[in-house]
Structure 1
């Protein structure tokens, strides 16, 4: 009989990790089994404390096959030698479970040996899963067939903590005062801000600097100030705070220290060189960016300010360069797309030629409809960032006042400081790529105006249960001089899937919709118009169409008025905003209206035979109502002319002397929404 055992390791790390090992055995002869396990591999495992002892969970299971005995009748047993010291009471093993077959186990029988205090199921000899102590252990498996032929396997496994601590440093620039010419001690532990570990307590964690376990503190003296000579009586340090647990696992975070010689204890000659300036965008708003200062090609200092200053600089050449790399979509909306399109149509004149750079989304040194297209894709979520451009670009304000070619404006400055001119002001203009809404207006601070009003999308739902289609007819009572809007739609993909759209009064095309996430239950929409449009509350703007996948669940949600469970506005990809002709930002909300076509849900009841149909129903709003009977070919057999239904009023409609087929379709049109139901006659 041959026993083949295969070990499969699988790691899944959340904070703690569980390893599963499965043994597959093929018992067909007496050939010894073969098994290879990397015992030197560090296994990160799910841990817990038991009686103040750290234990790690390991899943060990076994399967066997034999050409004589069925799998359920094979006899299994296993033993474990803890720590591999051969000191256990079972011929050197500490744990012994078995023998027993799967058939006997299912019948509730218990093996002769059930000694595994770490297992939650010590009566199962083909599953040795348990929380074992930390260390290297040996496991012995044995399987025997009905003829007494057996195979065995010995392998080792390691329970070892390989999860590094989670380091937390004090943030910001931490200031330390120089108290004596002899220096000041910077202690690593002082910069810990609550570092944790899965096993080692916080009090027992080790802290040191820059990966050197012996460097638990750093002493800063006047010699360090003299060597630096960069910030006069300020010495700024970037330090790595390393955190190590009892098992040697370690990780680090960065912290920043500013040692200040406030009492002028050190004999230092301070340089008076200074580079300073400010950063504003095209709308005169302050912009916070990373300002990088280079000297002789080496980065010597970084600050993140809108109004910045580098002080105590010796006379030499410097290069200063701003940088900002936030989300490309940040601050960009449908009104920017509309404004760039207006510029291409010569409908607006821009205030500054720098707006050409903002509109040049694809970095082609020109502004075309290709830029409009890429910006539209960004807002709709079809792309996550600009394909050939950065989120922000910066230009020297002092050098671009009378430029001839906007595409050649320098984006960084080289500064020479000497003893005759010790200070230099360098100002930058920040350009957010894609931001164009105020290109034709005077420079103003805080330009975004938010309206107190809302653009309400009324969603009249129409369910066609025969064709499994749900139509969302969208109207808006406050669609007044709207120039642009954008929104996302979120729907329950298990209930329905996006099928398409139908045009209403609002001019739309396929490019107005983003469908890259439709399989995840999300679509996006962007629209703009050159002039701005106005519609009444009775005008259907557009219709979203969904294919119903679970009609029973959808009907249940509709009956319970639980609309948000299957359709709602969504801002996970793009924000829900609209803009009027004054470029006021308006929020968008969704208002669900009358729902689906089962008559009971609009207060209708039926009584019918072959010659009479009686319909009794009430409504919840004062609207006109039409009712008619049609056959399966859409031909109208009976119709009740338009009448007004008042809120709470009950109507009884009868159609008599009918000559009709066995199946009719009842149509009730209320508030411009059609509800249908199928009538079956005996």
Structure 2
């Protein structure tokens, strides 16, 4: 009797997948940094057509942006017979994804598979049972926008700059906006290329937009140059600080440097009313939270600030240190970044000043 063993795992397609993988695939296609493993070729063949092309970039970006919940032409994982030696790593197509067994008279313990997470080029997929990953990032790329007051009927252009856009190769994020005060109109390029392919607008009616940008080069942009512009039409009187927030609701907020390092990504608003700014730490919002939460704070002068999150035993869960402008800034925290649940505390330190508040994470 003959048997065929074929493993299958086709859930959580986004596990281990981010815009960083787009950067790596793009560099491979352009022959800047070719793949050194057959398994990377298979992981990059997102549309499963036995080649790695720009079409795979398009499909993977749709997954990252939340346009796809799962890949239409591929499974989340592919499992290859580990006993097969792939001599030509650039041509791994057709390798058996099963093991044939003629009888059970001998031990099967030496039969194994190699699992390949589709779309995950840097091997960041979480494969253990607790489903949590621990991250320790000290650097932050901060997008900056000028706060504006607007009236119903007004076109609102939100120009995005950054004080520290240095040697960047990618970024991804979600923007939440108050759909009772404004309607999304579009996004336009500035110093970086940004068009409809970089944005998921399917949830714009729910006040959510997802973004993904990448460049195979390390891009450096002067702080006075507009990176890109998000355009809204106001339907009520309000301000940008009251209506626009950074989050990871659809696409996790993070950025990538040219050396493929992952760093934090945040948004801060500047206005003309910061001359009397005082040190303050806001209550996180929302609180309690299940997926993401935002922590706002105000600095009386530009400088370095450290935000520390720790549990009730005092164990440090995450530390973010960055230079922030005078006035109010905001840091977005995703639940998977802190690898904990229940009651925890967050502490802000800057220039000898310190403040602490409590927040609650409710596991889904």
Fold match, TM over 0.5?
yes
Matches of 1:497 and 1:577, distance apart in 2: 25
Q: Report the Cα offset of residue 503 of structure 1.
A: 2.7
* Partner residue in 1 for 2:259: 582
State the structure with bigger RCO (CA 8 A, min sep 6), 1 or 2. 2
What are the ranges of 5 or more consecutive residues in structure 2 without an aligned counterpart? 125-132, 278-300, 302-325, 327-364
**Match in the other structure for 1:339:** 24
Displacement of 1:464 in angstroms is 5.1
Aligned length, in residue pairs: 270
Q: Output the aligned Cα RMSD.
A: 2.8
Instruction: For 1:10-409, list aligned pairs within 5 A.
Output: 318-402=3-87, 405-409=91-95
How far residue 510 of structure 1 moved from its aligned partner, in angstroms, is 2.5
Q: CA deviation at 1:579?
A: 0.7
Could you say what secondary structure the match of 1:425 adopts? coil
Look up the SS of the partner of 2:96 in the other structure: coil
Contact 1:403 / 1:409 at 8 angstroms: preserved in 2?
no
8 Å CA contact 1:336, 1:437 repeated in 2: yes
Question: Counterpart of 1:574 in 2: which secondary structure?
Answer: coil
Deviation, 1:418, is 5.6
Displacement, 1:410?
0.5
| Residues 14-57 of structure 1, C-alpha deviations (whole Å, 9 max, x = no match) | xxxxxxxxxxxxxxxxxxxxxxxxxxxxxxxxxxxxxxxxxxxx
Equivalent-residue separation in structure 1 for 2:26 and 2:234 (angstroms): 37
1:459 matched residue in structure 2 = 145
Which of 250, 253, 268 pairs up with 1:591?
268
- Structure 1 unpaired stretches of 5+: 1-295, 297-316, 440-446, 595-601, 604-617, 622-646, 648-670, 672-682
Counterpart position of 1:503: 189
- For 1:471 and 1:401, locate their aligned partners in 2 and report how far apart those are by CA, in whole Å: 53
From 493, 496, 499, the counterpart of 2:179: 493
- Once residues 619 and 450 of structure 1 are traced to their aligned partners in structure 2, the CA distance between those partners, rounded to angstroms, is 34
Aligned to 1:194: none
- For the 8 Å contact 1:341–1:372, the answer to whether it is kept is yes
Contact 1:463–1:469 (CA under 8 A) maintained in structure 2: no
Change (3 A) 1:438 1:432: closer
- 1:581 & 1:428 partners in 2: Cα distance? 33
CA distance, structure 2, for counterparts of residue 620 and residue 368 of structure 1:
54
Alignment-derived partner of residue 161 in structure 2: 475
Residue 450 of structure 1: how far off its partner (Å): 4.7
Q: 2:187 & 2:255 partners in 1: Cα distance? A: 20
2:172–2:252 Cα contact (<8 Å) kept? yes
Instruction: Answer whether contact 1:380 1:526 (CA < 8 A) is retained.
Output: yes
Determine the C-alpha separation between the residues in 2 that align with 1:450 and 1:585.
10
1:413 is displaced (CA, Å) by 0.7
Instruction: Tell me, yes or no, if structure 1 residue 550 matches structure 2 residue 236.
Output: yes
Does structure 2 conserve the Cα–Cα contact (< 8 Å) formed by 1:490 and 1:567? yes
The Cα shift of 1:452 comes to: 1.2
The corresponding residue for 2:227 is: 541
CA distance in 2, matches of 1:475, 1:500: 17
1:410 aligned residue (65, 88, 96): 96
Give the match's secondary structure for 1:407. Answer: coil
Aligned partners of 2:104 and 2:20: how far apart in 1? Answer: 48
1:523 equivalent in alignment to 2:209: yes
Find the residue that maps to 1:398 and give its secondary structure.
Answer: coil
Q: Residues of 2 paired with 1:467 and 1:332: CA distance?
A: 39
1:324–1:391 contact (8 Å) kept in structure 2: yes
**Cα pair distance change 1:418/1:570, threshold 3 Å:** closer
Distance 1:319 1:473, change over 3 A: same
- 2:120 corresponding residue in structure 1: 435
**8 Å contact 1:334–1:376 — kept in the other structure?**
yes
| Structure 1 moving runs of 4+ over 6 Å | none
Once the two structures are TM-superposed, the CA of residue 408 in structure 1 deviates from its matched residue by 1.0
What is the CA–CA distance in structure 2 between the aligned matches of 1:360 and 1:593, rounded to whole Å?
Answer: 43
For the residues of structure 1 that align with 2:134 and 2:25, how far apart are their CA atoms?
17
Shift of residue 516 of structure 1?
Answer: 1.3
Return closer, same or farther for 1:487/1:388 CA change in 2, 3 Å cut-off. Answer: same
Asked whether the 8 Å contact 2:188–2:195 carries over to 1, the reply is no
Counterpart Cα distance in 1 of 2:35 and 2:58: 20
Q: From the superposition, tell whether residues 512 and 473 of structure 1 become closer, same or farther in structure 2 (CA, over 3 Å).
A: same
Paired residues of 1:484 and 1:527 also in contact (CA < 8 A): yes
3-state SS of paired residue (2:55): helix
Contact 1:486 / 1:574 at 8 angstroms: preserved in 2? yes
> Are residues 466 and 491 of structure 1, via their aligned partners in 2, closer, same or farther at CA, if it must alter by over 3 Å?
closer
Note if 1:567 corresponds to 2:244. Answer: yes
The two structures have a TM-score, normalised by structure 2, of 0.67
> Does the Cα contact within 8 Å between 1:461 and 1:470 map onto a contact in 2?
no
Residue 448 of structure 1: how far off its partner (Å): 9.5
Q: Distance between the aligned counterparts of 1:516 and 1:336, measured in 2?
A: 23
